[in-house]
Amino acid sequence: MSSRERILGRVRRALADVPADEVPYEEAVSRDYLREHGRRTTGETVELLAENLVDYRAVVHRCDAEELPLLVLRLLAERGSQEVLVPPGLPPEWLAGAGPVRVHDRAADTAGRLDRVDSVVTGCAVAIAETGTIVLDGSPDQGRRRISLVPDHHICVVRVPDQVVSSVPQALERLDPTRPLTWISGPSATSDIELDRVEGVHGPRTLEVILLG
């Protein structure tokens, strides 16, 4: 007997006493939860996003398309970055001008090589105001999941207001569940039993979000 057959056999035994006329799970569980909490204008939704990002210890910046390249270069310079990781589809104008050495993401790059890169710049798939969450889905301007998890400094550009939604249900409607989704609520952090917060454990120690309007 294979492992698969053993597992399926256990499932069948566990379900043996379930009445045939029992309401299916997808019908039994209520789906009438709120799609968003309160009514907000587009501007108020963006402000809520910024507020919750800061609450999660992300650093928030605002600029327009013309200001973006200079802002990104300034943030990299302030960080002292010598190398910046660049996804394959990152708009070239976001990193225009002189600056750190651009390291292009390659499948051959090991985690050790990525760890030597100081910063990474990406776009995002969607940003959720109510939770202060940025979602990446591996699109060309975001790259593979690991390039946003290994470098210690992540600059993420959110196009405002097109990529901003109020709630998680609204975000899920925009996302493809078959893609590699990375949900980011502030810089990587964890706490032990004494509630001592440690940042940079399983992702960037510093998250800077640029609201591009």
The tens digit of pLDDT for each residue in 185-204 reads 987 667 667 767 666 667 78
Is residue 4, in this structure, part of any structural domain at all? no
Question: What's the mean pLDDT in 148-162?
Answer: 95
Any domain includes 134: yes
Q: Tell me: the pLDDT tens digits for 5-23?
A: 999 999 988 888 878 777 8
Asked whether residue 23 is assigned to any structural domain, the reply reads no
Give how far Cα 43 sits from Cα of 39, 86, 126, Å.
12, 30, 16
- Work out how many domains the chain is built from and give that number: 1
pLDDT score, position 155:
97
Instruction: Round to whole Å and give the CA distance between 144 and 148.
Output: 8
Provide the percentage of residues in the chain whose pLDDT is more than 90. Answer: 65
Q: Which pTM does this prediction carry?
A: 0.82
112 band by pLDDT with thresholds 50, 70 and 90: confident
Phi, psi of 104 (to 5 degrees): -85, 135
Q: Which domain holds residue 110?
A: 40-212
**pLDDT per residue as tens digits for the range 81-108:** 999 999 999 999 999 887 899 999 888 8
Does the residue 97 lie in any domain? yes
Which residue, 189, 120, 114, is CA-closest to 155? 120
Secondary element (H or E) of residue 70? helix 68-79
Answer whether residue 121 shows pLDDT above 90.
yes
Query: Rounded mean pLDDT of the chain?
Result: 90
Distance CA 139, CA 85 (A): 15
C-alpha distance across the termini of the chain, in Å: 60
Distance between CA atoms of residues 12 and 19, nearest Å: 13
- The CATH number covering residue 203 comes to 3.40.50.10420
> Considering the domain boundaries, does residue 122 fall inside one?
yes
